[in-house]
Amino acid sequence: MSWLPEASAHATRIDILLAGLLLISLAVLGLVFGLMTINIIRFRVGSRVPLSHEAVVHKSWRFEIGWTSATLVIFFLLFLWAARLYVVGFQPPSGAIQIYVTGKQWMWKVQYPGGQREINMLHVPMGRAVQLLLTSEDVIHDFSIPVLRIKHDVLPGRYQSIWFVATRSGQFRFYCTQFCGIGHSRMTGTLVVLNSTDYADWLDHTPASGSLATTGEMLFIRNGCSGCHVSGRYASDARDTSRAPSMVGLYGSMVPGPDGRPIRVDSAFLHDAILHGGPARSQQGNYSTEMPSFRGVLGEDDLAALVAYLQTLSPSASSGMGVDAVTPREGN
């Protein structure tokens, strides 16, 4: 039985955190079992220590406050340590390779930006940031990669994101860790971390049905999106946004959210907007047409392609999600 390897700098940091927690736990356990044993030996019935009944009220208060505040301080420090490492997961670096992973009872479908597809296999290059955009076609799954110490639930009808920089080549297992029906334990796969030349080689030798963005562009035309949304390339009326907002430069820009506060357009935003027939309903009054919902019309594969395409219309935008994109973390 081999110990679980660490395949990223983040994994090492998590292991250090776990080691810290383990040390504190062992210290407390030692204290509890030690005191228990000492008490039992010293104060057993028949031992010589005389029995005392006097109340220890003032002393008791001092002890109570002592151990309560000690526990509070230690816990708060642990909380801060762990929270800082967790926040990183919400801050994918710009320029990460975006790979779309779709869960389905009971398999993982993986789509690469170059149009390659595989099932239950995930190839990534070593030393480069990779962002996985996760969604499900049916129930809730969970994508878990123990060697990277990360996992995230995969929900139907929306994107979740995790990211990592693998620093160790090799083959590692990933699992579905949210019970998803009777085939749950078969929903595993292999993560293959390759060095950059091998990765390029692998991309070249894997058949691709056009890049993801190209597929998305075709879907954009075929589903009538281009009828209302300006995408810049087909439009002589490139400034006509009377029917619907322009898609040029939309990705990465800030738009008013449902409560009026600005939110950044990211993959999850676009995905939801396509499914629900436009974002933030309250903001729709300005357009002459109402966007239909594409739920049931477009599958998750199609959505991934469309989102990839829309991103190409904002070449300058960083590819982060959610929280404001940040500069890449050192060495992660």
Partner 1 sequence: MPDHITPYDTALHRDESAVSGMWLFLASEILLFGGLFLIVLVYSHTHAAGWNAGVRHTSLMIGSINTVVLLSSSAVFTLAVEAARTGDRRRIIHAGLGAAGLGMVFLMLKSWEWHLEFEEHLFPGTNFSISGPNDGGAQLFYSFYFISTALHGLHMLVGIGLILWICDRTRRQTGREISTIPVDIVGLYWSFVDLVWIVLFPVLYLIGRN
Partner 2 sequence: MALTADRERSYLWQDGTVRSWLLTTDHKRIALLYMASITVFFILGGIGAALIRMQLVMPTGAILSDETYGRMFTMHGIVMVWLFLVPSIPVTLGNFLVPLMLGARDLAFPRLNLISWYLFVMAGLLVVYGLFRGGLETGWTFYTPLSTDYTQGRVLPVVAGVFLSGFSSIATGLNFIISIHQLRASGMTWYRLPLMLWALYATSVIFVLATPVLSITLVLLAFEHFFRVGVFDPTLGGDPLLFQHLFWFYSHPAVYIMILPGMGVVSEVVSTFCHKQVFGYRFVAWSSISIAAIGFLVWGHHMFVAGTSLYAAVVFSMLSFLVSVPSAIKVFNWLGTMHGGAIRLDAPMLYAMGFIGLFTVGGLTGLFLASLASDVHLTQTYFVVAHFHYIMVGGMVSAYFAGLHYWWPKITGRMYPEMWGRTAAALLFFGFNLTFFPQFLLGYEGMPRRYATYPAQFQVLNVLSSAGASILALAYILPLIYFAWSLLRGARATDNPWQATGLEWRTSSPPPTENFVHPPVVTHDAYDYAALDQANIAARQEVPHA
130, 180, 193, 212: which one binds partner 2 (CB under 8 A)? 180
Distance CA 228, CA 277 (A): 13
**CA gap 113, 308 in Å, rounded:** 7
* Residue 254 binds which of partner 1, partner 2, none (CB < 5-8 A, kind-dependent): none
CA 290 to chain centre: 32
Task: Identify which range of 36-44, 243-251, 281-289, 304-312 contacts partner 2 by CB under 8 A.
Answer: 36-44
Residue 30 contact, options partner 1, partner 2, none, Cβ 5-8 Å cut-off depending on partner type = none
Radius of gyration in angstroms for the set of CA atoms belonging to the chain, rounded to a whole number: 27
- In this structure, how many other beta carbons lie within 10 angstroms of the beta carbon of residue 327? 9
Binder among 291, 298, 313, 325 for partner 1 (CB under 8 A): 291
Decide if 138 contacts 104 (C-beta within 8 A).
Answer: yes
Q: Binding residue for partner 1 (CB under 8 A) from 61, 74, 295, 297?
A: 295
Stretch that binds partner 2, among 113-121, 138-146, 215-223, 226-234 (CB under 8 A): 138-146
Which span sits near partner 2 by CB under 8 A: 82-90, 224-232, 254-262, 297-305?
A: 82-90
Contacts of 226 (CB under 8 A, 6+ apart): 220, 234
Triad 82, 84, 87: Cα angle to 5°: 110
Which residue from 12, 23, 56, 281 is in contact with partner 2, where contact means CB under 8 A?
56
Restricted to residues 220-259, the positions that interact with partner 1 (CB under 8 A) are 258-259
Stretch that binds partner 2, among 85-93, 111-119, 219-227, 250-258 (CB under 8 A): 85-93
Question: Residues 121, 107: contact at Cβ < 8 Å?
Answer: no
Query: Applying CB under 8 A, does 295 fall inside the site for partner 2?
Result: yes
Binding of partner 2 by 23 (CB under 8 A): no
- Asked whether 195 and 126 are in contact (CB, 8 A), the reply is yes
* Contact flag: residue 85 with partner 2 (CB under 8 A): yes
**Phi and psi (nearest 5°) for 203?**
-60, -40
Candidate residues 249, 277, 322, 328; the one interacting with partner 1 per rule CB under 8 A: 277
- The one-letter amino acid code at 101 reads V
Q: Which amino acid is it at 7?
A: A
Q: Is 331 in the site for partner 2 (CB under 8 A)?
A: no
Task: State yes or no: residue 293 binds partner 1 (CB under 8 A).
Answer: yes
H or E element, residue 272: helix 267-276
Residues in contact with partner 1 by the rule CB under 8 A? 258-259, 276-278, 281-282, 284, 290-293, 295
